[in-house]
Amino acid sequence: MSDNKPRVAFFDFASCEGCQLTVLGMGEALLKILEYVEVVEWREAISEKSNRFDIAIVEGCIARDSDVLRLKKVRERAGTLIALGACATLGGVQILGNRFGRSELLELVYGEEGKNFEAGRVRPLSAEVPVDYLIHGCPINPDEFLEVMEHVLLGKPYRVPNEAVCMECKFRENECVFDTGKICLGPVTRCGCNAICTSVGQRCFGCRGLVDDPNLNAAREILKKHGYTVEEIIGMFDIYSQAAAPEKIIGGGMGRSSFLDRER
């Protein structure tokens, strides 16, 4: 492989690693990327290691303090840092754990011995280091991954979409999920997924996070038609919204209740 290709390294923190696997599953498209970059470190897929790389692609969230140093070292060495997937950009599903005390969670899972394990507040990468590019989604949309990589290689900023999923859903001429009797987070969720869930009749769970200022940018006419407010639908399905807009979380605030009596 030629020496002048940008050197890419993959790293991961707390996550299911499904976004890296989505990259590995891109097949021919991945082989195409390999013509333009050199992958020098990727623990999950290869044994090669390198101290020198230009682009770090990082999956996962920070879920304990001892991981912060490893992330900072990656940041120091990387010219460009890309946060890959919902865990890295927002904290992912495990951010739900922030509603409970660490010791409570440790005891629940490990019993008495739980006190011997380390656990911390779940936060996205940007809580600890500057992040240059965000690729949202649980998991990522491979088409967006390609688009972001193109921007990175050309040295251009990538504009993270700030329209609601409803926009992409309408382009695909889907039946509105609300019309099927389900609540859907599409009106307040950042698009870029090409409405993949609502296109197969599933509700949007909001994995790409809320659009900036959902009170202004929501697809309000859809909510109005079905008699809901922004706050109501976010409150009903709040798996991902805590990180995206903490001040707007409805119900289940930080460390509020214990497991058994938790009700929204």
Partner 1 sequence: MSKVNIKAVHITRVEGHGNIVAALDEGRIEEVMFQVVEAIRFFEGILRGRSWEEVGHIATRICGICAVSHCCASLQGTEKALGIEVSAQTELLRRLIMNGEIMSSHALHVYFLAAPDFLRLESVLPLVQEDPETVKRAFHIKQNSYDIGNLLGGRHTHPISLVPGGFTSLPSVSDLERLRERLTGLRCDVEKTVELYARLEIPDLERETEYVCLRRPDYYTFYGGQIVSSDGDALPAERYREAISEFVVGHSTAKHAKWHRESYMVGALARVNNNWKQLRPEAHEAMNTLSLKPPCHNPFMNTVAQVVELVHCLEDSITLLGEILDKGLREEYEPEVTPRAGQGVGAVEAPRGLLIHDYTYNDRGRSTNVNCVIPTAQNLGNLDADMRMLLSELKDKPEEDIRRGLEMLVRAYDPCISCSAH
**Which residues make up the interface to partner 1 (CB under 8 A)?**
12-22, 24-25, 27-28, 30-31, 34, 39, 43-49, 63-64, 67, 92-94, 96-97, 100, 104-106, 108-111, 113, 116-117, 119, 138-139, 196-197, 199-202, 205, 237, 239, 259-260, 262-263
Residues whose CB is less than 8 angstroms from the CB of residue 228 and which lie 6 or more positions away in sequence, other chains included: 183
Nearer of residues 71 and 220 to partner 1, judged by Cβ: 71
Nearer of residues 143 and 221 to partner 1, judged by Cβ: 143
Instruction: Report how far residue 246's alpha carbon sits from residue 147's, in angstroms, rounded to the nearest whole number.
Output: 29
Nearest approach in angstroms of CB 219 to partner 1 is 20
Residues whose CB is less than 8 angstroms from the CB of residue 187 and which lie 6 or more positions away in sequence, other chains included: 164, 165, 166, 218, 219, 220, 222, 223, 230, 233
Nearer of residues 48 and 212 to partner 1, judged by Cβ: 48
DSSP state of 211: P
Nearer of residues 27 and 155 to partner 1, judged by Cβ: 27
Q: Which amino acid is at 56?
A: A
Instruction: Report how far residue 168's alpha carbon sits from residue 158's, in angstroms, rounded to the nearest whole number.
Output: 18
Nearest approach in angstroms of CB 249 to partner 1 is 15
Nearest approach in angstroms of CB 177 to partner 1 is 10
Nearest approach in angstroms of CB 110 to partner 1 is 5
Nearer of residues 81 and 197 to partner 1, judged by Cβ: 197
Nearest approach in angstroms of CB 167 to partner 1 is 19
Instruction: Report how far residue 91's alpha carbon sits from residue 4's, in angstroms, rounded to the nearest whole number.
Output: 34
Burial 14-26 (b: 16+ CB within 10 A, else e): bbbbbbbebbeeb
Nearer of residues 12 and 168 to partner 1, judged by Cβ: 12
Nearest approach in angstroms of CB 45 to partner 1 is 6
DSSP state of 79: S
Q: Are 234 and 248 in contact (CB under 8 A)?
A: yes
